[in-house]
Amino acid sequence: MADSVQSRLRVTRKQILAFRRRVGALDERMPMGSQSLRRAAWAGLQDSMPRAALLSLHARVEGVESSTWEDPSLAQLWGPRYHTYVVAKRDFALFSLGRLPTTPRAGFEQSVWPSACMPSSTARE
């Protein structure tokens, strides 16, 4: 049975780094525009040190200016461990709803939890 698990994927360090640069949009800077900004922020850009996300945008998109992080295609929100993130505005719901606990806590569900997201045993009508 151990013989059947012989096929291993062999990749070099160079291949791994090239892949990470490509998926992180770091292999080639994109032209300035809303679509490029959304792609640059597809997984969220950490902004815990003020304007760190701006540096990340600059590495990925040409022509970034000091106010680019305020582009209407981007949004800023609290992320894990109380850090701020810049994300594509159309993905804001995914990032913010994903931060909610899987079960409501006393008092918390009334102010933050949308009733559609509450477990059926605690949903209010």
The 10s digit of each residue's pLDDT in 74-97 is 999 887 777 889 999 999 988 888
**Residue of 60 and 109 predicted with greater confidence:** 60
Q: How far apart are CA 112 and CA 89, in angstroms?
A: 19
Note the pTM of the prediction, 2 decimals: 0.69
3-state secondary structure of 79: coil
* Residue spans per domain, the chain: 31-102
CA 30 to chain centre: 18
Q: How far apart are CA 21 and CA 1, in angstroms?
A: 38
